[in-house]
A = this chain, B = another copy of it.
């Protein structure tokens, strides 16, 4: 794992939220050829993915092409128990570091997503005989509740994927030790339109403003002294 460097070709795990979209703009600014990969894992709503498509279409209209694959692993929704996937289990409200937010953990999610994205990066590396970075938009705000967003996870995931294959791909996660506030500061500087990002765990017309994800987003905007352009209930 190399925190400071990114290869010319990059595979980016894109949720459609503000962190991975921020990282996308960061990579494009660095001149990377970015290949996006997203996951339909049976999450209760797909608003993040809808907004992501809008963002990618906007980039396309500006002449910036970001090839994008959506991997349908929605069958996992039947296997996994989590407030984000299991019907009848409501998303909890509260601060994003509160203990009840653990209900939103999806078993082994980031190990699954990053291993698939890593395999995709390996294929691109192999096909082009080029070095490829696997880029993850994880940050320190996720560390309290999501063990699979902590630096030791990213490091060990990198270790296991390296020894599992003949070719190596490097994980690049520049915000691993930064906060959501820092990613937003960066994104705002780069002119990212945050009206086309979705963060709320609920999938209603407007963001709820009460779940852990909304609270963290609102805090990041407040600490940047900027008004969040999306609508809240």
- A residues contacting B by CB (< 8 A) are 69, 71-73, 75-76, 78-81, 102, 105-112, 115-116, 118-120, 122-123, 126-127, 147-148, 150, 152-153, 156-157, 159-161, 163-166
Residues of the B chain whose Cβ atoms lie less than 8 Å from the Cβ of A156:
156, 159-160, 163
Residues of the B chain whose Cβ atoms lie less than 8 Å from the Cβ of A150:
163
For A155, give the chain B residue with the smallest CB separation: B160
Question: Which among B69, B112, B126, B165 is the interface contact of A147 at CB below 8 angstroms?
Answer: B165
Least CB distance, A183 to chain B, in whole angstroms = 22
Least CB distance, A34 to chain B, in whole angstroms = 16
Question: Which among B73, B79, B112, B126 is the interface contact of A123 at CB below 8 angstroms?
Answer: B79
Interface SS, A side: helix
Question: Which among B79, B111, B153, B163 is the interface contact of A69 at CB below 8 angstroms?
Answer: B79
20 contacts between A and B (CB under 8 A): A69-B75, A71-B73, A79-B116, A79-B120, A81-B123, A81-B126, A102-B166, A107-B119, A107-B120, A107-B122, A107-B126, A108-B115, A111-B119, A111-B160, A147-B164, A147-B166, A148-B165, A156-B159, A156-B160, A156-B163
On whether the beta carbons of B164 and A148 are closer than 8 Å, the reply is yes
Residues of the B chain whose Cβ atoms lie less than 8 Å from the Cβ of A119:
76, 79-80, 106-109, 111-112
On whether the beta carbons of A161 and B108 are closer than 8 Å, the reply is yes
Question: Which among B71, B80, B147 is the interface contact of A163 at CB below 8 angstroms?
Answer: B147
